Chain A
Amino acid sequence: MEKELVINQRIEWKRKQTFRNFLIFLLIALVIICIGVPLFMALLWSLVNPDYPWSYPQSFPSHISLAQWKYVFKYTNIVRAIVTSFSIAPIAAVLSIFLSLPSAYALGRIRFPSREFFKIIILLPIILPGIVVALFLSRTLDFIGLSQNFFGLVLGHTLMCIPYMLRILTTSFEGIPQEVIDAAGNLGATPFVKFKEIYIPLIKLGLFAGAILAFITSIEEFNLTFVIGTPTFETIPTILFSFLGYNFIRTNAAVISIILMIPNITLLFIVERFLKTGYLSAVLGKG
């Protein structure tokens, strides 16, 4: 009698477990569909052969070709935009490393009263509505002659990159145990040696994650480039924007979105592969 009860309970438990696993599986499948299908459709659209247009009754394009890719590279400004995007991004990332290092050191290692306040303040460029900041920053840059100017663009992009870099480096500096630094001090290390032999190796991963996030932020940045740069400077996002406006050509837009997504998604998987999770929570977390 008692044995039967135990067996029944176990069957019940197992059934619950299977049901739970099934639900989890369903949720995962749903998420993958929601993220995968849009990406796949964009890829299909970019491969449509212009001689055999993909129209309503067909579920898939009948002919696949790279003709759209050739067209976009030949007849649009995409090459120049790629060059602009990929020259602003590294400069902005490097500038934000140099500007953030001292401040992150202070925020991470020195205890001072307004520390938490500053940690919130540095998030403002990410949180404040981008277009508002872009419009009125451009007014100011206009007065000092820096709008429609490469240097002005770099300044703007750097403003958007610094928050990521600062937050990540701050967490890295906070993670260094004080004993290590004290030990080095007792052994007679000068500040320069401490910096080179202790701080830099221990925040290396933070620097790496910060640089990649800064780079992606700059590649993605639309509002600032659009307001400060166009029409003199075009980056990949602003070109895509113009293709989605009054001259809406789906196939061209698809090609450009793929061009824009490839570096970002690759970098995402690189960061995920080489870093422990938590680099993004370091930016967004409240602490």
Chain B
Amino acid sequence: MKKKNQIFTYFWLFPGVGYIIFFLSITIVMMVLQSFGFFSLTAASQFSFKYWQYLFDRQFLDCFLFSLKIGLVSTFGALIFSYPLALLMRKSFIWKKTFGSILKIPLFVPAVVGAFLIINLMAYHGILNEVLLKLGLIKEPLRMLYNKWGINIIVIQIWKNIPFQLLIISSVVETIRTDIEEAARNLGANSFAVVRYIMFPLSIPGILAAVIIVFIFAFGDYVITKVAGPTYPTTLSVQMQTISMMFMEWNKAACIGVIIMVTSALSAAFFAKLAKIIQGIK
């Protein structure tokens, strides 16, 4: 009887969950097979390690480090804004609901549009430069677009991902009971102490999820870097797309794809470990 129920459950799961599992697994299997030389368009389709040699290429290394930098800086840059906002959204103030809706706008703006919006602001004669000039902070406009440090990519990523992190962190922060906070205040804790010893440790699970997801987004980003970033170095995703669709070297591109996926998975494990360590310190 129990076994029959089990089969019945999987029957229900089949349409939705099965769809996802089916398409993702054929995608991943195709990628891994191509990285080992199968399904080749240009050469004979056979098992070989030769495409993996690309990993020792200078170009690959540059792009890998660039992606890593964009990923880390964007993730923690967004966290600086989203965590205080998540704490703020716990309090009640006037127009909170409208404010919350406005905050979600970047989440509903497609990445291409987001990139364009920020390019407008950061252009040579854009409003950001104008304001800085008027304030007398700089003597001449800064060149912020397409620069090799990827400053504007990071700004776009932060702009786009703050609401995302905010939502994930809020869903955890809102479950923290207010009486713990009040108890600490009664015992004489100031605002800083409350955040440091109560709110922060309890919101680590949310922060962890937010950090992992946004890191994977920024690390594997294609469209923002393609539109606003420098031509070289660029993120691994842009490099992979160029190699596959322009040079038709799909097997090499598949190696990059595997590396992107593996790095994403490893980074998730790494951040989870880091969160454990931080929780241990208290």
Measured CB to CB, the residues of A under 8 A from B are: 21, 24, 27-28, 31-32, 34-39, 41-42, 45, 55-56, 59, 96, 98-107, 110, 112, 118, 121-122, 124-125, 127-133, 135-137, 139-140, 143, 155, 158-159, 162-163, 165-166, 216, 219-220, 222-223, 226-227, 237, 240-241, 244-245, 250, 253-254, 257, 260-261, 264-265, 267-269, 272, 277-278, 280-281, 284-286
Q: Are B260 and A132 in contact (CB under 8 A)?
A: yes
Q: Are A163 and B20 in contact (CB under 8 A)?
A: yes
B267 → A minimal CB distance (Å): 12
- Residue B216 contacts which of A55, A129, A135, A140 (CB distance < 8 angstroms)? A129
A13 → B minimal CB distance (Å): 13
Interface hit among B24-32, B51-59, B178-186, B270-278 = B24-32
- Contact status of A24 and B102, CB under 8 A, knowing A131-B240, A132-B237, A237-B112: no
Q: Are B130 and A121 in contact (CB under 8 A)?
A: no
B50 CB-CB contact with A under 8 Å: no
Q: Are B113 and A103 in contact (CB under 8 A)?
A: no
Q: Are A240 and B15 in contact (CB under 8 A)?
A: no
Q: Are A220 and B110 in contact (CB under 8 A)?
A: yes
Cα A219 to Cα B109 with chains together (Å): 10
B105 CB-CB contact with A under 8 Å: yes
Give B31's nearest chain A residue, CB to CB. Answer: A136
- Contact status of A222 and B23, CB under 8 A, knowing A162-B16, A285-B171: no
- Which DSSP category, helix, strand, loop or mixed, fits chain B's interface? helix
Q: Are A240 and B113 in contact (CB under 8 A)?
A: yes
Q: Are B109 and A264 in contact (CB under 8 A)?
A: yes
Q: Are B227 and A244 in contact (CB under 8 A)?
A: yes
Cα A124 to Cα B17 with chains together (Å): 11
B-chain residues with CB within 8 Å of residue A143 when the two chains form the complex:
39
Q: Are A118 and B220 in contact (CB under 8 A)?
A: no
Q: Are A38 and B241 in contact (CB under 8 A)?
A: no
- Which DSSP category, helix, strand, loop or mixed, fits chain A's interface? helix
- Contact status of A45 and B19, CB under 8 A, knowing A132-B220, A140-B27: no
A-chain residues with CB within 8 Å of residue B150 when the two chains form the complex:
none
Cα A100 to Cα B19 with chains together (Å): 9
A20 → B minimal CB distance (Å): 9
A262 → B minimal CB distance (Å): 11
Q: Are B223 and A103 in contact (CB under 8 A)?
A: no
Q: Which chain B residues numbered 144 to 194 have a C-beta less than 8 Å away from chain A?
A: 159, 164, 167-168, 170-172
Q: Are A281 and B167 in contact (CB under 8 A)?
A: yes
B-chain residues with CB within 8 Å of residue A133 when the two chains form the complex:
24, 27
